[in-house]
Chain A
Amino acid sequence: MKYFKIIIIIFSLLSLGAINDLQAQGKKGDMDKFTVQVDGLGCPFCAYGLEKKIKKLKGIKKVKIDMEDALMTFNYPAEKELTMAAVEKQVDEAGYTAVGTSVIRADGTVEKTELKISDKIDQNRVVKASIPVAGTCGMCRARIKKVTRSIEGVVESDWDEDTQILTVKYDRDLTNPEAIEKAVAGAGHDTQNVKAEDGVYEELPACCLYERKSYN
């Protein structure tokens, strides 16, 4: 009888610990609700492709792509503690561009990603450059904007599909056109002076495969 009581107490303590763990991490069955803004989702073939790739995340539920508002929503088991950075990485690795993510955790807390501009920027040193960059569509524009805005020192950037020109404002002490071109090429887009690696270019989504020009 004594042993039986001890077993009961140990079992209860273990159960309490497990419950506390579950409360901390989210109970089994509880879902976090993610919303990802994916810029430039104009082509259904690419949008459905993104959905197909995201569905490969084990445990993901209720994946929905809203083409009108360029939003992807899905639920994910709270116990797996999926981070917004991991979601954005998954989207970016699939060749698309997550420009903002929010999540309502199972316990009700809300998290959002925010674009941070470096506090080292001095407006007196901000200059403007126009750089030829190759691309084809709205998804290209989103990718080029995101990669340039993530460079420390860049204040503003945009890319025009018709003119194929990237216009960028940056702090000249923090970055320069060479570094910007290198970053853009790193995302798969040939610039005036830097060619993207073939492997990176080939991984771009179908509608972003622009006609490549020869380089010396």
Chain B
Amino acid sequence: MKIYKLSFVIGMALMVSCSPPSWQPTGSIFLNDITPIGLGILDDQIWLSDGDNNRVMVLDMSGEVLRTYDEVERPMHLDISEGTAYVPSYGSDDVLMIKGDKIDTLSVDVEFEAPAAVSVSGSHTAIADFYNNRIAISDGTTWKSVGKKGKGPGEYSYPTDVQVFGDKIYVADAYNNRIQVLDIEGKHLQTIGEDQQMNAATGIYTDGTEIYITDFEHDRVLIFDMEGKVTQIIDQGLNKPTDVLLDNGKMYVTNYKGKYISIYEKS
């Protein structure tokens, strides 16, 4: 009996030590009056789109405000690429490019209404065209829009976030409560998360090994492998999450209602 108990304990210990690491909460950054929607990190500086207050904020990693860009009408899911912050302005129907003190407007050759997200990777750009239920795509030379309102593959219900990664485009198809994966031309490849009962899939991120999505109304972050299988669900400590990204081995999640950033590390 003694030997049996000992084997059981050793077995359990081995199981625990062999289980794959999962994301665990390790801290928070409190944001005072900032209502964060979009998140980017560049050179240990956090970029936040503060939708309610019509501004873009730059913070250090402790939450100290370094810079503010005012009078951006309802900034949404921003992206940072090669030192430039790309900020979609939902209110004024354009995408701003911020580098230092210089602010320009991205030249886009297709019409869109209420851009909710932008992603830039190399020469490719994608914009979530919220009210038109489309994704605007550029290969660096020409623009086109793909998709329409609906529930089928390649159809959207108010897309709120987008990420270009490698030769694919990942879309948070917010009110269809799912993720859609497109090829770089905008052709539908894969649908993920339809069976997860999300309510507003608002923010998306991938590092090429997993896909992360915020479930706004249910206060969750769902993590999928690239085949679409759930690997972890985080459902504690979030308050209306809007965006998620990984940086330097940590996961950051913006909480719109709670006005804080949740930080996670794998252990």
Contacts and interface: CB of A to CB of B under 8 A. Distances in A.
B130 A45 contact: yes
A128 to B, nearest CB: 29
Contacts of A65: 52
A9 interface: no
B35 A44 contact: yes
A48 B200 contact: no
A206 B74 contact: no
B216 interface: yes
A43 B240 CA distance: 9
Nearest to A137: B217
B116 A45 contact: yes
Interface of B: 35, 37, 51-52, 74, 90-91, 114, 116, 130-131, 149, 157-158, 160, 174-175, 199-200, 202, 216-217, 240, 242, 256-257
Contact of B256 (A44, A48, A52, A137): A44
Q: Which 6 A-B pairs have the closest CB atoms?
A: A206-B158, A48-B74, A206-B175, A44-B51, A209-B175, A48-B90
Nearest to A138: B217
A207 B114 contact: no
A52 B52 contact: no
Contact of B174 (A45, A48, A136, A137): A45
A131 interface: no
A161 to B, nearest CB: 10
A207 B200 contact: yes
B199 A136 contact: yes
Interface in A47-80: 48-49, 51-52, 65, 67
Chain A interface extent, by class: 10 to 19
A136 B217 CA distance: 10
Per DSSP, are chain B's interface residues mostly helix, strand or loop, or mixed? Answer: loop
Contacts of B200: 43, 207
18 contacts: A43-B216, A45-B90, A45-B130, A45-B158, A48-B91, A48-B114, A49-B131, A52-B90, A52-B91, A65-B52, A67-B35, A67-B52, A136-B199, A137-B217, A206-B130, A206-B158, A206-B175, A209-B157
B160 to A, nearest CB: 6
Given A48-B74, A49-B131, A206 B35 contact: no
A48 B52 CA distance: 8
Contacts of A49: 114, 130-131
Interface string A27-54: 0000000000000001111001101100
A202 B133 CA distance: 13
A136 B158 CA distance: 16
Contacts of B91: 48, 51-52
Contact of A207 (B74, B90, B175): B175
Contacts of A207: 175, 200, 217
A207 B158 CA distance: 9
Nearest to A202: B149
A48 B131 contact: no
B175 A52 contact: no
Nearest to A208: B175
